[in-house]
Amino acid sequence: MKLSWHGTASILLESEGYRIAFDPFLTIPLHETTCRRKLHAVKYRTADSVLVTHGHFDHILDIPRLYQKSDTLIYATSAPCKTLMKRGMEREQLRVIIPGATFQLGNFTIRVYQGRHCRFDLGIMLKTIFKWDTFLYPKRLYELIKLNRLYAENGETLFYEIEAEGKRIQLLGSMGLDINTAYPTGADVLILPFQGTSDPARTVVPIINKLQPKRIYLDHYDNTFPPMTRHIDTVEFTAKLIRSGIPAAALKRGKVYEI
């Protein structure tokens, strides 16, 4: 099984020639990098299916421009499906899924669990407001906040477990678990977002303790849509995990990992 990361929470998984894209999103930096966006778009369009963790703009904004009028099916909960239809996607291309669902895509077995979006605390809000980029581009922050309202999460964040080739991968789109859900433990790989609160390291420790993964890869730590995002230093935290006996690394954009 092959895994690659393409910024934010965008993951591509491949097994026996079948590809799944999770939350495919093209970066919207302060200074447009058209070439990079085109390269990511080419990668995303190779996907046979798309799975969405939740409906925020950095998870579904680009799905219409990437997959409209294609054969690629989009799997998501009700809220993002409704948003995508408002943005021009045909109902026939969408598949509504709910926690508890299990289905097959190519060689992959997909199990769907209720997740939870991280809660933006006061610290992260203040860090965002008082960033230098915010002072330089206040209109841009306002536009991103508007996008976030248009693309509602609606309490429908999902947690995926993906099984193929005898390996289990668990994937989160945000740093949170549902307190009423019993999650399987001991997955071979946990893909864990590392942004969204003032102290990501502290936020993810209870998640790791509950799921007890064999290996951890961090994503969503990049500065994909400033000034709402920022680059998060992962070095100290991954080193601490390694010292505790858990292999861990921040995913590198575009690198292919063998699972």
Q: What is the pLDDT of residues 183-201, one digit of tens each?
A: 999 999 999 999 999 999 9
Q: What is the pLDDT of residue 51?
A: 98
The SS3 call for residue 226 is: coil
Asked whether 253 and 36 are in contact (CB, 8 A), the reply is no
Name the residue type at position 39.
Answer: L
Domain that holds residue 41: 2-258
Token pair 């509602």 is found at 152
Q: What is the pLDDT of residue 225?
A: 87
Task: Give one word for 7, left, alpha or beta, with left for phi > 0 and alpha for psi -120 to 50.
Answer: left
pLDDT digits 0-9 by tens, 151-188: 999 999 999 999 999 999 999 999 999 999 999 999 99
The Cβ-side half-sphere exposure at 46, using a 13 Å CA radius, reads 13
Q: What is the CATH number of the domain that holds 18?
A: 3.60.15.10
Closest-CA residue to 162 (of 208, 106, 218): 106
Q: What is the pLDDT of residue 126?
A: 77
Low-confidence residues in the chain, pLDDT < 70? 27, 29-37
Q: Which residues of 77-99 are buried (b: 16+ CB within 10 A; e: fewer)?
A: bebbbbbbeeeebeeebbeebeb
CB under 8 Å to 220, separation ≥6 — which residues? 8, 9, 193, 194, 195, 196
Asked whether 115 and 173 are in contact (CB, 8 A), the reply is yes
pTM of the model as a whole: 0.94
| Total number of domains in the chain | 1
Query: Which residues in the chain belong to E strands, given as ranges?
Result: 2-5, 11-15, 18-22, 49-51, 73-76, 94-96, 102-105, 108-114, 158-164, 167-172, 189-193, 216-219, 248-250, 256-258
Q: What is the pLDDT of residue 116?
A: 97
Q: Is the peptide bond before 227 cis (omega within 30 degrees of 0)?
A: yes
The SS3 call for residue 151 is: coil
Look at strands 189-193 and 216-219 and give their pairing. parallel
Q: What is the pLDDT of residue 31?
A: 59
